[in-house]
Structure 1
Amino acid sequence: MTWDWFWAPEYDPARFVFQRLLAATYALAFLNVLNQFVPLLGERGLTPAPRFLERVSFRRYPTLFHLHYSDRLLRVVGWCGLLLSLAAFLGATDLLPLWAAMAVWFALWALYLSIVNTGQLWYAFGWESLLLETGFLAIFLGPAHTTTPVLVIWLLCWLLFRVEFGAGLIKMRGDPAWRDLTALYYHHETQPMPGPLSRAFHRAPRPLHRTEVMANHVTQLIVPFALFLPQPVASAAALAMIVTQGWLLLSGNFAWLNLVTITLAFSAMDTTLLGWLPTQALTPATELPQDGSTPLWHRAAVLALTALMVVLGYWPVRNMLGSGQVMNRSFNTLHLGNTYGAFGSVTRTRHEVILEGLATGESEWREYGFRGKPGEVTRRPPQIAPYHLRLDWLMWFVAISPSYGRGWLERLLLALLRGDRGVLRLLRHDPFHGRPPRYVRARLFHYRFSTPRERRESGVWWVRTPVTELIPAVSLDDVAPNG
């Protein structure tokens, strides 16, 4: 028996692009850890990781932090992940032996798995599981001086299929606005974190909105099947997905969801579109085996990986085919063989939680400014993606239902009353410049994009009206000693 079927040299350029984009995504994720984890989940965070780890087992939440958690160790993990990511992005793994290159990609996956399994609700997003599953498959691709194993390419295409087809199914089965093509009448305005072009997308003619929805259905429900057709059809399907994901990246901020999906799409492209990339020239000739093949132990590992993913595929397939389809579900603690999907329901109106403080002796409440989520009506929504602002995203959920803030929203207000520097660094604007206010409160507002006339006359991006007081004014005197 020959192993010729095992190798796919025509996908070597795809591997090159895939690994660089994945490494860049890992770098963003670990930079996010360094910037946000401690104030959210640190020893004195809003939902402290040590308390969480005391209540759960390693079997249910495998993470190295079960051995020990400290904010210092967390930063060590974050910096190790960031440096390894940058090294992989610069191609250092291509200069390593096969086993060492695989060890680097395994370390990235294992470190980020430890973060996600400690991250509680702050890391309960579909793109976390997607990054982990993608990163796990990447371990077995091999460096540039080996030939790409075709089985891993197929598994990456299968993952891309589940991402797109699962998202398409949940839309068609969920909100009727997707079926009657009216979803984008609302989505650009009510999505979690609009971007700088979201208002323009929202103000586009309604026939264009219906066309966008129809194009989305085609891309997510029909095009994914073409990934398994011969080339160049598969490459054309992947290119269509890249264009669609780029469109989504322009219309809103969805962390690195679009970037990882684009990364997966490149793995489906052969030399038909990527043949111009000089991947082999990036590796010294002395490092290149005669035929680029790998040792038997690596081939056995790829075969075992394939068998594992076939078995794990039962759960997402059952979920997609079943009538009770759910979105973004991990069926195991390693976040492999997940189900994906987003926006099975479309919010019709936008509400925002606004945090305000009142200084001693003053009568005017001052508003705290967030980095990404809407607040000041004159501020244009910023471009955040492919970065992720976790506090801003959770505040969107609180505006939908205050129950999402149970256990941490009150601690956020307490941190503002105490002038917690870590929490304040998560915000864009502290109206008290580090000197804590006497009182803080949370108010709920209705937001909508301004009309062209309102924009011309007053320069506002948003028009807002108060709805209710979510949390009445509270001071440190009102907080219990164990608060």
Structure 2
Amino acid sequence: MIFSWLGTGDYDVAREVLQRGVAAVFLIAFLSAADQFPALLGEHGLLPVPRFLQLAYARKQPTVFRWHYSDRMLRLIAWAGVAVSASLVAGLPQRIEPWLTTVLFLLLWLAYLSIVNVGQTFYGFGWESLLCEAGFTVAWLGSSTTATPLTTLFLTRWLVFRLEFGAGMIKMRGGPEWRDLTALYYHHETQPMPGPLSRQAHLLPKWFHRSEVVGNHFAQLVCPFFLFAPQPIASIAAAVMIVTQLWLIVTGNFAWLNWITVVLLFSGISDGVWHTVTPSWAWPVAAHTASTGGIPLWYAVPVLLASALLVYLSWWPTRNLLARRQLMNASFNRWHLVNAYGAFGSVTKRRDEIVIEGTDDPAGQSGWRAYEFHGKPGDPARVPRWFAPYHLRLDWLMWFLALGAEGGGWFDMLLVRLLQADRPTLRLLRVDPFAGRPPAFVRARVYRYRFAPRAEKRETGLVWIREDRGLLVPPVGARAAR
């Protein structure tokens, strides 16, 4: 039996982009886990998973690590995730029966869910839940041997709607800077991890920044509704939202948040519109042979059951969208499905940075030198770099710490690891001023940073101008750390 009504041949390009794009983000996420997880959360990490798993709360989470954790096991899962993701990026499983593509995406979802659910504060970002939900949803898009399930396309657009409209409503309910159109006076300078063009964006005239806010409100509060309109209106709405996401990619470093949003927005772009505005070489190979024969019963039934599950779970985030006290980046179930999203309900007006310094002076009186991070500002003369969609987790938490967030023990342990010259920890940093040797003392200072105006940069050669705000942590030596 063929479910011809469930499938469509008008979104084969969209399916290719969705499956390969989400798989590419999974690949980056698993690479990040293999590279950073052991030092941050491993057996000897800053927040060790074995200690976390002793909590009753942790033992209730769906994760393969609830029975056993080891750094070796984590790396095996992460590299297996990289391999599976790479095969999907290449489009190989999509050429076979749809069950294979579905099974592989569900395995990626479960593997990454296992990591997220023991990742504690280092994995407490909204885009972790977004990747889990996206992986589960696109698992039901079938393969090139079937038509594209309409219910899955609709639910992918529903995911984008919650992501964008939720973020828009968080802003309208948040700080007054979003309502008086001044938020972008500050954001490019104070965002968690600026990029190489953030300073240029910050120095644009204020009328342009007000226009940015208006454009943001239009993209997040108006366009999401038109994703459900007939074509080509849905494609136009998706294109407008893609443009706004590309601007965020160019001017910042928000891990894979903007990248995966662009991918998911292709659920609103039909093949007809895509073929009209692009040359044939831009069409994914598998989409050249669109399959319009419907969906077999044996695959249609699980697709409909999964769709029904996502519809059922939509009650809680829908209610949250309408709530006066809207939650931001919240999961309503342990499986991270159908979540609430949002970011920057208020914008920080000033940028404080914590700079960790060490000295090999036995008296701790002089010779202080700074440890440098890969992404967060440190050296005032250094131009910020692009790292997204890769996620520098320690750098991001240093930004939150400077805002007054609790260290949760990880920052104290970071200082201890620096005093020990712990090699895995030092690999998370860009510059170790002691070349692998343990310092005698470490300390943490707070500086207030601002982008140098054009004239000041010409005079000083500095990208940032900073002001010393005093000590956060006074000098501590190895004996005190013990």
TM-score category of the 2 structures, normalised to the smaller one: over 0.9
CA contact (8 A) 1:193 1:393 kept: yes
SS in 2 for 1:442: strand
Shift of the alpha carbon at 1:295? 2.8
Shift of the alpha carbon at 1:57? 4.9
SS in 2 for 1:46: coil
* Cα separation, 2, equivalents of 1:267 and 1:108: 20
Shift of the alpha carbon at 1:138? 1.1
* Cα separation, 1, equivalents of 2:226 and 2:281: 24
Q: Which amino acid aligns with 2:447?
A: F
* Cα separation, 2, equivalents of 1:348 and 1:278: 42
CA contact (8 A) 1:191 1:252 kept: yes
Alignment partner, residue 344 of structure 2: 343
CA contact (8 A) 2:446 2:471 kept: yes
Shift of the alpha carbon at 1:409? 0.5
> Structure 2: where are the runs of 5+ without partners?
none
- Over the matched positions of the two proteins, sequence identity in percent amounts to 51
TM-score (norm 2): 0.96
* Cα separation, 1, equivalents of 2:361 and 2:143: 62
CA contact (8 A) 1:95 1:283 kept: no
CA contact (8 A) 1:419 1:436 kept: yes
* Cα separation, 1, equivalents of 2:46 and 2:457: 37
Task: Kindly provide the CA deviation profile for residues 388-407 of structure 1, in whole angstroms up to 9, marking residues without a partner as x.
Answer: 10000000000000x42131
1:385 and 1:284, CA in 2 relative to 1: closer, same or farther beyond 3 A?
closer
Q: How does 1:306-455 map to 2 (within 5 A)?
A: 306-361=307-362, 363-401=366-404, 403-455=405-457
Shift of the alpha carbon at 1:3? 3.1
* Cα separation, 2, equivalents of 1:309 and 1:460: 51
1:283 and 1:339, CA in 2 relative to 1: closer, same or farther beyond 3 A?
closer
Q: How does 1:171-210 map to 2 (within 5 A)?
A: 171-210=171-210
* Cα separation, 2, equivalents of 1:357 and 1:58: 35
Alignment partner, residue 466 of structure 1: 468
Alignment partner, residue 242 of structure 2: 242
SS in 2 for 1:428: coil
1:283 and 1:385, CA in 2 relative to 1: closer, same or farther beyond 3 A?
closer
Shift of the alpha carbon at 1:305? 1.6
> Structure 1: where are the runs of 5+ without partners?
none
Q: Which amino acid aligns with 2:101?
A: A
SS in 2 for 1:356: strand
Alignment partner, residue 299 of structure 1: 300
Q: How does 1:115-194 map to 2 (within 5 A)?
A: 115-194=115-194
Shift of the alpha carbon at 1:103? 1.2
Q: Does residue 457 of the first structure (1) align with residue 466 of the second (2)?
A: no
Task: Kindly provide the CA deviation profile for residues 442-479 of structure 1, in whole angstroms up to 9, marking residues without a partner as x.
Answer: 11111100111111011100011111211110011112
CA contact (8 A) 2:16 2:284 kept: no
* Cα separation, 2, equivalents of 1:325 and 1:467: 35
Shift of the alpha carbon at 1:281? 5.1
* Cα separation, 2, equivalents of 1:4 and 1:390: 46
CA contact (8 A) 1:13 1:277 kept: no
CA contact (8 A) 1:94 1:283 kept: no
CA contact (8 A) 2:3 2:296 kept: no
SS in 2 for 1:455: helix
Alignment partner, residue 105 of structure 2: 105
Alignment partner, residue 18 of structure 2: 18
* Cα separation, 2, equivalents of 1:18 and 1:447: 39
Task: Kindly provide the CA deviation profile for residues 169-205 of structure 1, in whole angstroms up to 9, marking residues without a partner as x.
Answer: 0001100000000001111111100110000110000
* Cα separation, 2, equivalents of 1:294 and 1:188: 47
* Cα separation, 1, equivalents of 2:244 and 2:478: 49
Shift of the alpha carbon at 1:341? 0.4
